[in-house]
Structure formats: structure tokens, C-alpha cells
Chain A
Amino acid sequence: MRVVRRFGVSLLMIWMVMTITFFMIRLMPGNPIMDAYLSLLQQGVPSQEAMAQIHVLYDVYPNQSVLTQYVLYVWHLLHGNFGTSIVYAGRPVLPLILASAPWTLMLVSIGITISFFIGLFLGVLIALNRNTWFDNVMSQIASIFHGIPNYVTGFIFLYFFTVMLPWFPFGNIYGNTVTPGLNFPFIASVAYHSVLPIAAYVFGAFGTWTLSTKSAAVAVLGDDFIQADKIRGLTPGQQLDHLIHNSVLPLFTGFVLSLGMMFGGAVFIEETFTIPGLGYLIAQSTSQRDYPVMQGCFLLLSSAVILANFLADMLYSRIDPRIRV
């Protein structure tokens, strides 16, 4: 019952965020519909006809009130229609997003997972060797990488591994000689093109996970039951298992939320490596005031974050018996 209610609240939140973004987007300076209408008028199209053309193209009249547009938008949304792009005239938003999403989801989910496990491993190792040279060196390294933005690591990787040492290809996500589809050359090409962006993501993110794991594990190591485990003669493996399980708890929610956040794309990495993913799409549509595409991307992102939150709540009770739904 609580689950149903929590889910209902999540849906309500998605609707609220969608509404707020709808109006905020239209508060931005610049009006693409009016621009298109005016340019038609300049080309000598009579105003009645220009109005009709705009309506055919964008499903909106230039002189419609924002409120009417909102009602129309929600009505279309409920029918699974996310609208049509203004920049790519006439192309529906949903296929645009669906074409971009796989690249982002693949890159970022792999990146998050790798960096999470590296961070977990290093964090526990540092906590176990607290106040030794290993702690000093590794904590510094983690702090430095925690502070370097991933587009900087991205540029450095690009420079060293595509220019200085041309080991990896530059740009796009697969070579122009392969045919997209379920064939080996295509998959191999995607994997080859993904190495640098994923590495850039991992180097930008593992430091954060390492530092959080370290502080969690240090706190757990101070708990009485860890000392008691040793006195009870539990094996080193069992003690490590208790340490890791208890240290992961505070990180778990952050991990699931970051899986939701990945629907916002890795904007800087996608820009740096020119990968046609969600981040790229968001950046492009925002700079060109492509309202429907922006609206679609933000709707996807906010839904993903809110649902990830819901999911994290539900799953957390499975790994921590003290929290029961």
C-alpha cells in the first residue's frame, strides 16, 4: 500500500516538474516560433498563410497564449505525442530522443559502474590502511581526481591518445565504414570508440566514490561489532564482508540516483568526444531554443531521477533490514 502511495507521489512530482520546466523554458529570452513566423512574412508570405504554415510545421499558432499551449502540450503528451522539433523542422521529438539515448546510457552506465567499484575497492583499502603512506597517497590522488572536471580529463586523453599517440579514434561513436546493426564490426567499432569517453568519465568520478567509501568504511571500522567480529574469531574474509556490506549502505542511494541522473547525459564528455547522445541533444536544443526537444529531454531526465529515487527507497530496505517498507 505504501509502495503504491509512494509511486503515486512520484507521478505527481513528475507532473509538477514537467509543468515548471514548461513555463521556465518559455521564460528564456528569444521566441523561435515568432522568429519563424516573422521570417515567413519577410519572404512575402501573407500572414494568414504564414500562420497556417507554422501550425502545420509546429502544431502551434504564434499568437496562442502560453496557457493554451500548455493545455495542448499536456493533451498531446497524454497521447504519447512529445511534439515536433523546431530546428529539425517536422521531426517528432520522441524518435530524436530515442536515437540519442542508447549512446549515453551505454557510456554513462558503464562509466558509473566501473567508477563505483573502483571507488569501493580503493575506499575500503584506504580505510583498512588508515594513516599509512598508502592512505596519504591514495587519498590525495582521489581528492585531485575528485576535483578535476571530466572534460579536462577528456581533453587530456584526446590529446595524448588520439593526437600524440594515435591509438584511439576521434569523434563520433562508431566508424563510418561499418553498418549499424547487430554485426560484429559495428559492435567492435562502438567498443573501440567508447574506450576514451568511458575512461574520461571514470577518471572524473572514481575519486568521489573513493572518498565517500573511505569515510563510510572508517566509520564502520570504529563500530563495536567489527572489533567483536575479530574477537569472535571470524575469518578475515567474513570480517571484510561485514565491513563492505555496512560501508555500502550510505553509498547505495547515491549510486541509484546517479543511475537516474545519467539520463541527463554526460554533457561535457559528449561535447568533447562529439558523441550524439542525450547530453549533446540537450546542449544543442537549449542553445537553439528548440522548445519541444528541450521539454522532452527535461521530462525524461526528471522522470528518471524521480523514479530512481523511488527505486532507491524500495531497494534500500532490501539491503538494510532496519528500514522496512
Chain B
Amino acid sequence: MNEIALSVRNLTIEFPSESGRIRAVDQVNLNLERGKIMGLIGESGCGKSTVAFALLNSVPSPGIIVEGTIEYTGYGNLLKMTPEEQRLFRWQHVSVVFQASQNTLNPLKRIEDQIRELAQAHRIRDVRVLLERARSLCESLRLDTRRVLNSYPHQLSGGMKQRVGIMLALLLQPEIVLFDEPTTALDSLSQESVLQIIREIHQKDGLTGIFITHDLGIVSEIADTVAVMYAGRIVEISPTARVFSGPLHPYSQALLDALPRLTGDPRAARGLPGSPPKVVGNVSACLFRDRCPRRMPVCDLAAPELKRVDESSMAACFLYSESEEANVHVKMH
């Protein structure tokens, strides 16, 4: 129990731009337990997808990982591996279900040929075994196996392509699967069936994964724990139930308040005015303070760090660290 499969320390990612190096991800720490799914939520642009790409060391150009370690238990720090080791590590040990799987398949090759390419790339000698596995995965994904393998991507519907994306992600039996908004591009019916499939696999095979989304509803259905990101930082990590009953960070609360309820007045949903800041350079104040209903004087003076609040939760907010608040006061005087 509680074995850590992946541990990220001080992950910091910057994107050079005309107005300086924008810090998309700042000092992110997280542990992923084996057999658990962690939801990673936040507004668009908060850096959640960048984190996912960083876990494979393929942050889209021009982003660079300026600091941090990405430690896979049993394999070591991904960032220290040679390019060839990294290439073989990707997909064999950690794979991705992409946001828009329909665009992640080479339009010129049949699905079966794309599987053959994967086998070749990962030095799998017996392609037949892999194709057999692809077939059984297709069946459990409720795909018409023969048709799908013989099809070109454009001959499949969006929902089918998304399921092909899941099939490809599970094909090499990786320890960890990253789901990067896998349902965002789908209609609500396909969305539900894809979620159900992921849930089934999670329950049956004890899938370990990170589920990235901006949709709290989906997180509540699928994740064991939730990490909330704001402006490139993790502001809270809590068990899913807690995030929905009484989240710690004011930002998590704001996300929850913005969710329309089926029970009660849907107009009671409250939006959060303003937008997250772009971060350049080091941060010397809480980034959420301008939108925060519980702002305190200390929030202008230092950036709160992610600290353990109790046994199950962590938060980056001065509401939970009076001692640090005191420290800042001492420094001031």
C-alpha cells in the first residue's frame, strides 16, 4: 500500500518570451501512489498540461525544464537518462491519452500499421502478440476490432479515435498513464462512455494515472486525490471527497462555487472574476491574492508554500500556516 510510483520535486518550467521568461510551472512537487488516479485541475493556461508533458520530458518548444527531478520508482530520474533511454522509457512505462486523439494519429497509416511501428520502435519482436493485445483491448473498449485496425484515422469517428488513443496508451502495459483532458473534445455521450472505460480499467487492473482536466465533475467521478493548480503552482492536494465537501484553499472553493448544481438553483453558481497572472521571475507574494475573498496582509509579503495541513491534505495558503505568517511579521519589523 501507499507505494509511490512517481515523485516530482521542484519542477519548474519556463517559456522564453519577449516580456521575459514566463514561468509556466513553478516549484511543483507531487507524489503519485501506485494504483491511484490523481486529478490535476485548474483553469486553462495554469500549467497542468505542461506538467504532463514534462513528466515525459517533452515540453513543447520553446519551453524548458529549468529545475527539478522526475523520479520514477525503479527507474530513476527521467531527466538524467540518455535520449535513447528516454525514448524507450516513454510509452513502455508511461503513456498519454491525448486531449485531441483524432489529431495524434498519422493520417497516412492504418491503425494496424501504427501498432506495427510502435512494436518496431520499442523493439518488440513478436508483433502478433502485440496485435493480439490490441484486439483484446479494442474489445474491452467496445470497438469493432477488425474494422478499426484496418482503418485509416479519417475513417473513424471522434469517439472511436479517442478510444483508439486509449488502446494505444495501454498497449505496451505502462505503469503510469497520463490522461490529458481525454474527454474535452468529445460530445457528452462519448465522454461518459470513455470515462466509464477508464474507470473500469482502473478498478480491474489497478491503473495508476494522472487525470488532467478543468472539469470538476469528471474529477469527482474518477480521481482518488485531486491536485489543484493555479498560475503554475499547486495550491492544494486533497482526497477527492474533501475537495468537494470542504476544500482548503480559497481557489479550490472558488472552483467549486463556479460549478452549477443539479440540486438547487443553477443560478447560484458563482464565477470568479479576473484571470490568473502571467509569472515572470521569482514570486514574492501570493499569486491568488487579487482574486481571493480571504486576502490577508501577509499575502502581499511572501508566496505561500505547499505545506501539509493534516494527514491527508496539503495546501499553499497562509490560512493554514500561522507560524509562517508570524515569521514574515518578524522579518518586517
- CB-defined interface of B103-127 with A at 8 Å, one 1/0 digit per residue? 1111110100000011011100000
Interface size on B, as a range, is: 20 to 34
Residues of A within 8 A of B89 (CB): 233
User: With an 8 A cutoff between CB atoms, is A234 at the interface?
Assistant: yes
User: With an 8 A cutoff between CB atoms, is B66 at the interface?
Assistant: no
B106 touching A242, Cβ below 8 Å:
yes
User: Please, how many angstroms separate the alpha-carbon atoms of A268 and B117 in the complex?
Assistant: 47
Chain A nearest CB: distance from B51 CB in Å? 14
- CB-defined interface of B246-282 with A at 8 Å, one 1/0 digit per residue? 0000000000000000000000000000000000000
Residues of A within 8 A of B168 (CB): 232
Chain A stretch 218-272: residues in CB contact (< 8 A) with chain B: 223-225, 227-235, 238, 242, 245-246
A225 touching B107, Cβ below 8 Å:
yes
User: With an 8 A cutoff between CB atoms, is B9 at the interface?
Assistant: no
User: With an 8 A cutoff between CB atoms, is A5 at the interface?
Assistant: no
* Stretch touching chain A among B91-99, B230-238, B292-300: B91-99
A322 touching B103, Cβ below 8 Å:
no
Which of A225, A245, A319 is close to B105, meaning CB atoms less than 8 Å apart?
A225
- CB-defined interface of B121-155 with A at 8 Å, one 1/0 digit per residue? 11000000000000000000000000000001010
User: With an 8 A cutoff between CB atoms, is A320 at the interface?
Assistant: yes
B121 touching A234, Cβ below 8 Å:
yes
Chain A stretch 276-325: residues in CB contact (< 8 A) with chain B: 319-322
Known A238-B117, A238-B120; judge A231-B90 contact (CB<8 A).
yes
Residues of A within 8 A of B308 (CB): none
Which of A227, A231, A320 is close to B91, meaning CB atoms less than 8 Å apart?
A231
Residues of B within 8 A of A225 (CB): 103-107
A233 touching B88, Cβ below 8 Å:
yes
- CB-defined interface of B56-89 with A at 8 Å, one 1/0 digit per residue? 1010100000000000000000000000000111
Known A224-B100, A321-B154; judge A232-B121 contact (CB<8 A).
yes
B107 touching A322, Cβ below 8 Å:
yes
Closest to B83 in A: A236
Most chain B CB within 10 A, of A223, A224, A231, is at: A231
Residues of B within 8 A of A234 (CB): 117-118, 121
20 contacts between A and B (CB under 8 A): A224-B98, A225-B107, A227-B58, A232-B91, A233-B88, A233-B91, A233-B92, A233-B118, A234-B117, A235-B87, A235-B120, A235-B121, A238-B117, A238-B120, A245-B108, A246-B106, A246-B108, A321-B154, A322-B107, A322-B152
List B residues at the A interface (Cβ < 8 Å).
Answer: 53, 56, 58, 60, 87-92, 95-96, 98, 100, 103-108, 110, 117-118, 120-122, 152, 154, 168
Q: A225-B107, A231-B53, A321-B108 are in contact. List 20 more A-B contacts (CB 8 A).
A: A224-B100, A224-B103, A227-B58, A227-B60, A228-B98, A228-B104, A231-B90, A231-B96, A232-B118, A232-B121, A232-B168, A233-B91, A235-B87, A235-B121, A238-B120, A242-B108, A246-B108, A319-B108, A321-B154, A322-B107
Question: What 9 pairs across the A-B complex have the smallest Cβ distances?
Answer: A228-B104, A224-B103, A233-B90, A233-B91, A321-B152, A234-B121, A233-B87, A224-B104, A232-B91
